[in-house]
Every structure is written in structure tokens, then in C-alpha cells.
Amino acid sequence: MDLENQKRVLDLAELHGKENIVVLLGGADAEASGMIAETVISGDPAFAGALTGVQLGLATYHVLESEIKQEIDAGLYESNIGMMEMVLPVEEIIKEVSSFRNKGP
Amino acid sequence: MAERNAVITACSYGLFHAPYFSQEHGTTPEAERSANPGSAFLTALPSSMRSFDQVVAYPPNQAFIGNLDPRTLPAKPWHTVPQGDAESGGSLGRIVGEEVLYALIKYSDAFDLVVISSDFRDEALAIFAGDEALAGADPSRFKEGVAAPTLEKLVADGALPLISGGRVLGCVKSAHPTDLNLGAHTILENLACKATGVYALRRLLVDNRIDPKAVDYIIETSEEACGDANQRGGGNFAKAIGELCGLANATGCDLRSFCAGPAHGLVHASAMVSAGTARRVVVVAGGTTAKLAMNAKRHIEKGFPVLEDCMASFAFIVDGEADEGLLIRDKVVGMHKIGSGSSPQAVIQDLVVDPLARAGLRLSDIDAYAPELQNSEITEAGGAGNVTLANLKMIAAMAVMKGEIAKTDMDAFIAAHGLPGWAPTQGHIPSGVPALGWFLKWAREGSFSKGLLMGKGSLFLGRMTGLFDGVSVLLEAWKREASEAGSMGHDALESAKIAIGLTIPGSEGGRAELLRGAAEAVRADGTLEVVLFGDTGSTGDDDPSGTGLEMARSEMEKALAAGTIRAAVTFHHPFPIGVATVGHMKAPGNGRDLFIASTTGASSTDRVEALVLNAISGLAVAKAFGISRPSLGLLNLEGAPRALAILRELCTGGFAIDFGASVRGAGASTGEGESLLRGNDILAGTVDVLVCDSLTGNAIMKLLASFSTAGRIEVAGSGYGPGVGPAAPAIAIISRTTAAPVVANAIALMARMDRGGLGKIYAELRTDAERSGLSRLLSLKMKRSGGGLSGGQGPTALPAKKPVQHGIEGIDVGELEEAIAALQAEGIYCEAGMGCTGPVVMVSEEDAAPAAAYLIKGKFIGDRES
């Protein structure tokens, strides 16, 4: 995960409290999405950024997951994400992101 | 000046094998050298470079220069399947070696910044003499070479060497002691860009026998910037390249938008040619040294050779005087707008869905999509996936969302309409443009009709905006048709003469008035010939019995059928139901051309259906007139809101309509949206096409045409216009009280309709409308209203068909179908028709009296005797 973004996430978690933050992912790729989920949940696996050794355990979802989809107006979702929902490997992405979420920090 | 067609007639692509630059000046090895000087990657780099022969035999490179159809590329990995009989020259370009690149760099140097060895000077001169694209170049640019020690000294002082096969052939010096923008590194990068651009342009000119002096403008679209500390990207590569290609009559400039630059260049070139600013524009771009070996680390890790070992360049010409080629449909350019957002869906909406909808096309009407055409072997191994395929998947997903295809058909859609990527990953080079040459080839072979070229750019890399960029252009296989020769200057005028018929009997203004109009039409347009019908030479005007007009009309119809006249103007014609006329007038408020659809006839006996069909007829006439994207509005009449709703649904289905807005403002008091027009819009000229029913349109025409004579005679406009509808004859209607200027205008209008291809345009629009759901929408409406033409009385035996010549007038349009059915039930054969004054029931002469009596009895018409 981008080092600058790790720093931002850490700052936000400290400012607002980690229980008040949801991380919403929009990546096109399962592996990369999983890596970001892992970073903001149990720390940077590459041991490079601000989240190295920091287990924030943030609630992390991909925008393609049903928990998020049901929160968004159906028409708006369709007009912004409907196309990519057809193109991306949705199940793989959900499997990858939810596995880190379920595992916890 | 008339608008010109902007047509791509030739393309050229260059590949420049650059193994030394790849290792030395690619940003990836450069960065590695400063961070990890002794790394395994740097150690493996030299032995991972390909030979020139391997570069030539690499299948995607053969596709780039036109030798291997990209649709027939073998299965990957491509670097393991060298093409056996590969040539370095192809129908679309050429692959050249490192020495040629260095010779070109020296040739491109205008400030003695490139110094070459004496040996290489002789080699460079031989290279130039042996390459037909360079043979005419000025050899004096190769000044005396220097000896090896001098080169060594220059390199030791900071000049960057030009090395090939271990030999130092020359070097590039810094152009300023302190300004980094003129430092040796930047100068080398810019000269390499210029040099590769020069070669592509010279090849374009030589291979396609284009006179360099006939080019008016150059647009350069690479990703480099030349300038000094005070103007880092001052430019101008375009003129620098043109200067070395003999483009003495051209000027030009550089245009940048990251990888989307070339596609923008295409749009600009097309617009300049269409507008008449330039007759011929070349778009050119050199290659980049920075992107060489960009993914080499991953390639070497995977056991691949360094596949990014060539600089690439292209040039193509947009010609306004071409007879064939790829027509750039610059009115349907897709543009990623600032406000659209950068989500992939928004980008595809802007670049694919919107422009195609405006052109009245479905996504599946495009033969080939050319999005980012990066060589997928390079990007997949580099970790960026298959960029071309990702784009095609998004387009296919959009086709699913639009309901054109099923989700399960996405792969089939991609296979049928997609192309694989084959272009070297030189940023701007893969951005759609490599497909131009192939589109042109396929068009000339007759296997290609329409392609969509898309360029995309990652603007955020420049740190000035987080935005993305993209532009797309629709390209069509095109040949100049004989009928278009009229716009090609006087030589072609004779062959493009158009004969228009005019019937004489029956004018209330008299024969002389008609003849004056005919003479005026011919005076105004020497390509017109007016053929008179029913002219007895009598100075009297009249035709009280109407028999003269009938005879004239019959002669005129024969001439139309025989093709001796292309179109005709007459007072009256019994168009069948389905055909209505579209009148033409200059809007009093702004002088713009206003088309009133319709003014006589009936496109349908159902009011709402008629309004919808009138809209299509009006668009057809406006387009044939030369308005490429006419705006349209419905006059706020009974049935108009329903018709508007149907038209909007047609748009949703893909039928392109630009709705205009009332001068009264959006939804002024009607609450029905902006496209219901009010009476003042008629005068204001708010829209190009004003849709109304025939009787209203007829009243509007008469009012506007005779306003200045207080209703006495019609002196303004072009009359009631051509009949438009399925298989409508090319006949236009004028009133019996028409003055000469309107007669002249009506004749000119019909010539313009013929040249503009009204019949073809109408048929295409009807087909488009059908594809967008016209019949379904109209039948849905019928079901809802429970009315319609087929009343559902079941089949009855119809009387035998016979010729009908007699028209019974005075019937209400709403009762026409019922009257026809009643007469048929009575055993009288009849047909519905539309006269100038309203609907008519057409019967045979022998049935005229009994039919009229029956209709009076049934209260369909009044009793005129009483």
C-alpha cells in the first residue's frame, strides 16, 4: 500500500478513533485490494510504511461488497459502478478482502 | 467556403532499435543505477537485449509496420515465435537499426550539439543514400566527423555518447552550461524524439507520393517538451520536424495530453480541415527514450528478453481534398469532460456511449474498437495486465447495460469488435493511432466500415490535476460519391447537372411568375436545369378544370420514374398516407434555416404517431440540407407531450436527437420539459426542426410566407417542401399563390435534397429509429389508447383493387379510416390520401358519385349542394 496513504490512514484513525472509520476500497484487482485490507487491519506486510506493526483493525470493505452496495442508491450505484461490476473479478475481490476482515488484526 | 470532408489517406509508422538507449536512458535502468548500482537487474540487462533480427521477427512489430494483420497474431508468448520471413520494411512503415537512429539524430541537430566520428559520418551518408525516405535529405548537415580522442574528451566533459555494437559513434553535448532544460540529457531525449518523428513523416511523404509543399499544417503530439529554463515546454517540435521534411508551406505547433495527445491531434487536424483553415494537416509524433526498458526488471525476472527496446513514431495525413480514405466523423467526437468524473464508467460513457448515440449508432455497429493498443505481452509481464482487453471488456459491459447484448455474450462481442494490442509501450504511441493504418487497409479491401479510435491520458502524472483525459473519434470507410462532385470546383460542375421538374398549369400568380422563378433558380445555380411540364405557352394562367395540371403531373411522374428529372416541384400531389411534406423557411427572428415538419400530407392518421414520424422526416430534410446535428422541438399542440415522451424513449434506445429549448425557458408553464415550443419559438428560430401536425404546419407556412403581402401571395420561404416517407417520390409542393422567389427557392431546395441524399438519409434514420424501438413504442401507445389503424373488426372481403383518380375532399382526418372501411364494406374500392387542403378519399371516376353520396349519407362529409 502507498506509503503516503498509510500515513494518512494512521493520522485519521488517531484523529477520529479507529472505531469511527470505515475503509472503502475501489481497486480493480483482488490481490492488491487484499493487500490494502491487510495493511489497514493488521499492519503493513511489506514493513515499509507508517502502518508497519500497527494493528488498526479498521472496518474494511470493497465497494463491490453487498454490505456497501445496499447502502448506496441503486440508480447511483448502477450508473457509476454497474459497468465495472460486470468487468471485475467480483467474487475473488470479495473473498480476498473479507478474509482479512474476518481474520481481524 | 463549403465544409470539407476530413479524410485520413495515409499513415506511416517507424520502429527504431535502440539497445544502447534502452540500457542507458530508460528511466527504469537509470533509477536503478542511482539506487542499486551493482544490482542483479543491471548485471543481467546487457545480455537480455535482443538483436536487430529478433526485433524484426517479433510478431507485434510486424503488425506495427503492416506486415502481419494484428487479428492474426499467434498465441503468446510472442517473443518465442519469431516470424520466419519477417522483413524490416512493411506496407505501413519500417523497422530501422541503431545506426540509422544515430544518423537521424545527427541530421536533426541544428546547433552542432551532436558530434560524430569521421567513420560514422561516412556510414551515415551511406545510410541516407540507401534509404529512399532519406535520399533527398540535405547531406551538408553531416559536417566533418572528428577523431576518436576528440569524442572521448567530449564525453569526459559531460557529453552523452552514442554507442552501438561497442563502438562510440558520436556524442550529444549540452547546449547550456547551467540550464538543465538544455543539458545533454534533455537535448538527447528531444533530438531522439525529433529524429524519429522526422523519419515517420519523411516515410509518409515518400511512400505515399505526397507533395511536401501541399501540406499546410503540422500537429506534433509526442510527450516531450523542448524549451529552456524560461519556457520549459515552449516548443515547437512540429516546425522543427517539418523543416527537415520539406514542408515549406506549412506551419504547426505541438499539442500535449499525455497518451491522448495523438487522438486530440486527430480531432484538431480534422476540425481544421473541415473548417477550411487548412487543406492538409499532418499529425506526427516521435518516440521516447525514457520509456525504453520501462518494464525490463519484470521481463528479465520472467526470463523474457527486454521487449521495450525500440523507440517508435508515427505520422498520418488528414486531407480535405481526398477521394477516398478514412472519413473522420468530427461531429461525433467523444470527449471526456472535466465534470464527468474519472470513474471508468464515466470515461466509457463519454468516449463510447455518448458519441455513438449522437451518431445514431449502437455499440455493435462499430466494426473495430481501437482503445489503448499496448502490446499485451509487455504489459502483462510488467504487471499492468492486458490493457486493451480491459478496455474492450468495459465497452462490452456497456453494451450489456444498454441492453444490446446479453452478459453471456460479452466475450463474443469482444472477439467480434475488439483488436488485440500490438504497439510498443511508448506512452502516446499505442493510444489508438496504430489502428489507423490497418483501418485504412481494411477499408480499401472493403472489409471495414466503422471504427472507433480512443486515446486516454493519465493527466495526474503531471501533478497539475487529478483528472484523467480521453478523446475518441469515429472513423468510416469513405469514397467520394459522384453526387458530391458538385462541391469539387468548376471542373466537375458539368457532370453534376441536376434536372428539376416544374409543373406550370394552375398557378394563381400566372405562368410568368413560375417562369421567373425557374429562371432565377438557374441563374443562382448554374448546375440546375428546370424542365417544365404542361407549359402550353399561353400567357393565361389558369387551369380552371384542373385537367392541365393532372396531365402535367402524369408527364412529370413519368420523367421522374425514367430518371430524366431528379426531383419536381408542383402545386398538388396526392401523397399516400405515410408521406408528409417538410417546409423550409428562414426563421424571422434569426434568419436561420427552419424546417417545419410537416406542412401537407399525413405521415399517419394517428395524431401522436404522425408527430413522431414528422420529427424523423424533419431531421432527414435538415440533414440532407447540410445541418449535421439539427436541433428539434415540438410545438405545444394536442398530442405533443405524448409524442415527445416517445421521442425521448427513442433517444434512450440510441436514436440521436438534439432537443432544443424554448426561448420561454425550460418547461415554460407547460411542465413538459424544454422541448415543447410555443408560438414565439416559430418566429425566434429556436430550433432547426419544428414538429407539428400538417394542418398547423400548413398554416404556419402560409402565415410566414405571405406575411409581408398581407396574405395575398407567398413571397418568403421555399414552399411546403419535399414529401418525406417510405418510398416517397422526390416531389415538393408549392402553393398556387406562390411568387417567383419561392418558386426559385423550392427548386433550389429540391436540388439540395437530391445532392444531400434525402431518400437515403430518411431510410437510414427510419432504420435507426426502428432499431431504437420505434414500432414497439408506437404500438405500445396504440394499445394504451385502444385506438389505431387496425380496429380489430376481423377480416372482411375487400372489393377488387382498381385505379383511383378521383379525390373526395372534406373529410376529417380522424374519421378517414372509418370512412374508408365503410366504403369498402359497401363494395366501393377506395384509398386514403392527403391533398393540400386535408385528407381525401381516393376512388375511381366511376365510383365518384356513389361514394360521395354514401359519405354524405354517413355524415362523413357535408352536402355541398345544400
* Residue B134, domain extent: 7-480
Same domain membership, residue B505 and residue B472: no
Rounded to the nearest angstrom, the minimum Cα separation between B394 and chain A is: 6
Catalytic choice (B171, B226, B830, B836): B836
Quickly state the pLDDT bin for B539 (edges 50, 70, 90).
low
What pLDDT was estimated at residue B796?
A: 52
ipTM of the complex: 0.78
Q: Closest partner residue to A87 among B341, B343, B397, by Cβ?
A: B397
CB B486 within 8 A of CB B476: no
Give the nearest partner residue to B344 out of A29, A79, A83, using CB atoms: A83
Per-residue pLDDT at B2 exceeds 70: no
CATH of the domain at B829: 3.30.70.1530
Asked, for residue B69, whether it belongs to a domain, the answer is: yes
Q: B389 to chain A: nearest residue by CA?
A: A87
Torsion of CA B623, B628, B633, B639, to 10 degrees: 40
Residue B170 clears pLDDT 60, i.e. is over it: yes
Residue A84 contacts B where some CB pair is shorter than 8 Å:
yes
SS3 B87: coil
- The β-bridge partners of B806 are B843
Mean pLDDT computed over B813-842: 83
Which residues in A lie closer than 8 A to residue B401 (C-beta atoms)? 78, 82-83, 86
Where is average pLDDT lowest: B185-194, B234-243, B792-801?
B792-801
Domain count of the fold of chain B: 3
Mark which residues 379-398 of B lie under 8 Å from A by CB. Answer: 385, 390, 393-394, 397-398
Do B234 and B126 sit in the same domain of this protein? yes
Q: Does B81 touch chain A (CB under 8 A)?
A: no
Rounded alpha-carbon distances, angstroms, from residue B664 to B661, B673, B679: 8, 11, 10
Q: Please answer whether residues B456 and B335 qualify as being in contact, where contact means their C-beta atoms are separated by less than 8 angstroms.
A: no
Tell me which of A55-64, B434-443, B538-547, B647-656 is least confident: B538-547
Same domain, B383 and B523: no
B801 lies in some domain: no
> Cβ of B360: how many Cβ atoms within 10 Å?
21
Looking at the predicted structure, is the pLDDT value of residue B795 above 60?
no
Q: What is the pLDDT of residues B324-348, one digit of tens each?
A: 999 999 888 999 999 998 888 999 9
The answer to whether B718 and B705 are in contact (CB under 8 A) is no
**B403 interfacial to chain A (CB closer than 8 Å):** no
Q: Is B797 part of any domain?
A: no
Counted domains in chain A = 1
Task: Indicate whether B604 and B692 sit together in one domain.
Answer: yes
* Final residue in a domain of this structure, among B442, B461, B480: B480
Between CA B209 and CA B793 the distance in angstroms is: 71
Same domain for B447 and B363: yes
Same domain, B392 and B509: no
Q: Which domain holds residue A49?
A: 3-103
Q: Do A84 and B400 touch (CB under 8 A)?
A: no
| Phi/psi at B534 (5° precision) | 75, 25
Chain A 16-35, residues with CB within 8 Å of chain B CB atoms: 29
Instruction: Kindly calculate the radius of gyration of chain B based on its CA atoms and give it in whole angstroms.
Output: 34
Give yes or no: residues B450 and B514 share one domain. no
Q: Are A38 and A49 in contact (CB under 8 A)?
A: no
pLDDT at B483 over 50: no
What single-letter amino acid sits at B143?
Answer: K
CA angle A74, A75, A80 (to 5 degrees): 100
Cross-chain CB nearest to A86 (options B343, B346, B397): B397
| Distance from C-alpha of B155 to C-alpha of B769, rounded to nearest angstrom | 69
Lowest mean pLDDT among B40-49, B258-267, B562-571, B806-815: B806-815
* CB within 8 Å of B554: residues ≥ 6 apart: none
Task: State whether B455 and B564 are in the same domain.
Answer: no
Could you count the other beta carbons within 10 Å of the beta carbon of residue A81? 20
**Taking a contact as any Cβ pair under 8 Å apart, which residues of chain B between 304 and 343 contact chain A?**
341, 343
Interchain contact, B345 vs A80, CB within 8 Å:
yes
**C-alpha angle with apex B352: B351 to B358, nearest 5 degrees?**
100
Residues written for chain A = 105
Chain B: nearest CA to A11, how far in angstroms?
22
Q: So what's the pLDDT on residue B494? A: 43
Using the predicted structure, report yes or no on whether residue B292 has a pLDDT greater than 70: yes
- Same domain for B305 and B208? yes
Q: Which pLDDT belongs to residue B671?
A: 44
Is the minimum CB–CB distance between B410 and chain A shorter than 8 Å?
Answer: yes
Among residues B23, B2, B24, B100, the alpha carbon closest in space to that of B56 is found at: B100
**Is residue B488 over pLDDT 50?**
no
Question: Does B301 lie in the same domain as B254?
Answer: yes
Q: Using CA atoms, how far apart are residues B134 and B440, in angstroms rounded to an integer?
A: 25
Tell me whether residue B597 is in a domain: yes
Q: How far is CA A81 from CA A84, B400, B702, in A?
A: 5, 14, 53
Q: Does A87 touch chain B (CB under 8 A)?
A: yes
Tell me how far apart the alpha carbons of residues B565 and B561 are, in angstroms, rounded to a whole number. Answer: 8
Eight-state DSSP code of residue B629: S
Does any domain span residue B864? no
8 Å CB contact of A81 and B343: yes
| B796, part of any domain | no
Residues B183-199: what's their mean pLDDT?
98
Query: Chains A and B: how many Cβ contacts under 8 Å?
Result: 35
Cβ–Cβ < 8 Å for B121, B174: no
Cα distance between residue A74 and residue A94, in whole Å: 19
What average pLDDT does this structure show over B8-13? 98
Distance from CA of A1 to the nearest CA of B (A): 16
Length of chain B counted residue by residue? 866
Interface contact A81-B393, CB threshold 8 A: no
| Burial B624-637, CB ≥16 within 10 A → b, else e | bbebeebbbbbbbb
Q: Which residues of chain A, if any, have pLDDT below 50?
A: none
Query: B294 and B236, same structural domain?
Result: yes
Which parts of B377-520 are beta strand (E)? 450-457, 469-479, 498-503
Q: What is the pLDDT of residues B698-747, one digit of tens each?
A: 999 999 999 999 999 999 999 999 999 998 999 999 999 999 999 999 99
Q: Which of B341, B345, B390 is opposite residue A82, by nearest beta carbon?
A: B345
Q: Place B538 in a pLDDT band, splitting at 50, 70 and 90.
A: low
B212 within domain boundaries: yes
Last residue of a domain, one of B480, B505, B520: B480
pLDDT exceeds 60 at position B794: no
Which chain A residues are closer than 8 Å to B411 by Cβ? none
Band of residue B537 on the pLDDT scale cut at 50, 70, 90? confident
Q: Round the average pLDDT of chain B to a whole number and report it.
A: 90
Mean pLDDT of B123-150: 92
Average pLDDT on B418-435 reads 96
The rounded percent of chain B whose pLDDT value lies above 70 is 93
Tell me if residue B193 is catalytic: no
pLDDT tens string B542-556: 555 667 878 888 899
Closest CB from A78, A80, A87 relative to B343: A80
Identify the domain boundary among B760, B789, B818.
B789
Calculate the alpha carbon distances from B149 to B111, B119, B145, B153, B168 in Å.
22, 13, 12, 6, 11
For B640, counting Cβ atoms within 10 Å of its Cβ (0-12 exposed, 13-18 middle, 19+ buried), the class is: buried
